[in-house]
Amino acid sequence: MSEQTLTLDDHDHHEHGPAKGFLRWVFTTNHKDIGTMYLIFSLVMFLIGGMMAFVIRAELFQPGMQLVDPGFFNQMTTMHGLIMVFGAVMPGFVGLANWQIPLMVGAPDMALPRMNNWSFWILPFAFTMLLSTLFMEGGAPGFGWTFYAPLSTTYAPPSVTFFIFAIHMMGISSIMGAMNIIVTLFNMRAPGMGLMQMPMFAWSWLITAFLLVAVMPVLAAVVTMMLMDIHFATSFFSAAGGGDPVLFQHIFWFFGHPEVYIMILPAFGVVSEIIPTFSRKKLFGYHSMVYALIAIALLSFVVWAHHMFTVGMPIGGQLFFMYATMLIAVPTGVKVFNWVATMFKGSLTFETPMLFAVAFVVLFTVGGFSGIMLAIAPVDFQYQDTYFVVAHFHYVLVPGAVFGIVAGVYYWLPKWTGKMYDESLGKMHFWLSFVGLNLTFFPMHFVGLAGMPRRIPDYALQFADFNMMASMGAFLFGTSQLVFVYLVIKTVRSGKEAAQVPWESAEGLEWTLPTPLPYHTFTTPPVIEHK
């Protein structure tokens, strides 16, 4: 290779040799390395956030003081929410995107590899800063993951400033990751691959990336306004100075509602890859799936105030947000229908990724039904701030986002490592998680309807039995994730070599690969024939 044709990265290697050991991971611009780091970071954060959930559920195991004082309990609920949303779910999906998107569209790497490296390495520092607030004077912020003002501005501990800076860093990381995905998908698809030939996972991430670029600056704006109120004597959210605390809720939820879809759309993409594979059929209604994703994304911007039905909104506002929220059920229902139609009369087998995908469809739909209940404004007055809301969003996010990430890992692990995971361990992980999850969150619907408020460390005696069930379910769900950690390590270190096409083992079915084409030609996926 002549000196003139070296790329910048080649030139670095030419001068200094490739980085070795730990430095390789610090300086890497390889999308696979960065995807792996995102996934490992996500897993670590998932376990830390899970331990905080253990503290919450241990305190609620029975009424009365057991473990921690109420202030620390509130710090745990705050940190658990923030870490799971920004530290576990979002980096997990970005890790899947980094690994899969270049492979799916025939790109050599992500479009902006150095920015890719930077967007990852911001995260460990952001979350170290967030976690360090636990050890500061006055403790970590205890105002809930939604950090409503004026509780988060007038009455917050000094550590709130570090919390705000951590949120800014997470937002910068998310925006950079999203820009990278948009540029990659628009500019680096293989010749002949139009947008409507992209795999569903790539589509789901393209739309998610636009959502991120649109709403992360809104989060940055609201935490900057908090910072001004705390340190520079402004009154954005202080009624005493002519501001409005409800303004905070409007800005926060204008970010927060699209954010929930940012956490679920990539899972839709993962499940749309897995179900056709194990049904041995093409995805039913590809075009309608794409349009449904776009419709969900657009509608997610006009429903934010359904989180705020109890703030004294005029009746016209309540009606608008109620109907708009119900409208989102239509494209979501289209997706569920298409997944079921894909499975209908397919040659189904239930390997671990398919188990997680089917559980996703069923349990996400349960969360959707409770969401429709919460969308009914007059009824929401009863549900607001009870455990019914906690049950609803955990049914959307745990079987939705978390199962989506886990299903993707099981599905693509043979592709990433060249080794096959232990199927019996995978199934064990699934069933323990499935039972633990439902045991944890289903009873919360009942205590919520009976009036148990959320974010309170103690409760009346009549809620004791269901809370004990929920806590036992939480400990089961949490500890069963250790099976997953063990399985992944075991696969990487000593898994059996995976087949060239890893999912060909289904009884009576074999993949037949199409005739090889030149690498630059877009090829259709393998066709399946009955033998």
Q: Which residues are catalytic?
A: 80, 109, 145, 173-174, 257, 259, 261, 272, 306-307, 332, 335, 454
Distances (CA, A) of 322 to 211, 384, 502: 22, 14, 46
Q: What is the DSSP string of 373-415?
A: HHHSHHHHHHHTTBHHHHHHHHHHIIIIIIHHHHHHHHHHHHH
> 193 and 522 in contact (C-beta within 8 Å)?
yes
Q: Which helix (H) or strand (E) holds 513?
A: none
- How far is it, in rounded angstroms, from Cα 186 to Cα 198? 11
> 114 and 29 in contact (C-beta within 8 Å)?
yes
Token pair, residue 72, equals: 């620390």
Please, which residues bridge with residue 386 across strands?
453
Backbone phi and psi for residue 186, each to the nearest 5 degrees, phi listed first: -80, -35
Please name which of 241, 87, 115 lies closest in space to residue 178, comparing C-alpha atoms: 115
Instruction: Report the SS3 class of residue 190.
Output: coil
> What angle (nearest 5°) sits at the alpha carbon of residue 156, between those of residues 245 and 57?
100
Q: Which helix (H) or strand (E) holds 255?
A: helix 245-279
Token pair, residue 338, equals: 């298409």
Which residue's entry shows tokens 């400033």?
161
Sign of CA dihedral 19, 21, 22, 24: positive
Residue ranges in 384-508 assigned as alpha helix (H): 387-396, 403-417, 423-449, 464-494
- How far is it, in rounded angstroms, from Cα 94 to Cα 41? 11
Distances (CA, A) of 458 to 53, 80, 443: 15, 18, 17
Classify each residue of 275-290 as buried b or exposed e, where b means 16 or more C-beta atoms within 10 Å of its C-beta.
Answer: bbbbbbbebbbbeebb
The three-state DSSP-derived secondary structure of 90-115 is: HHHHHHHHHHHHHHHHCCCCCCCHHH
> 502 and 428 in contact (C-beta within 8 Å)?
no
Q: Which helix (H) or strand (E) holds 285?
A: none
Which residue's entry shows tokens 């016209």?
316
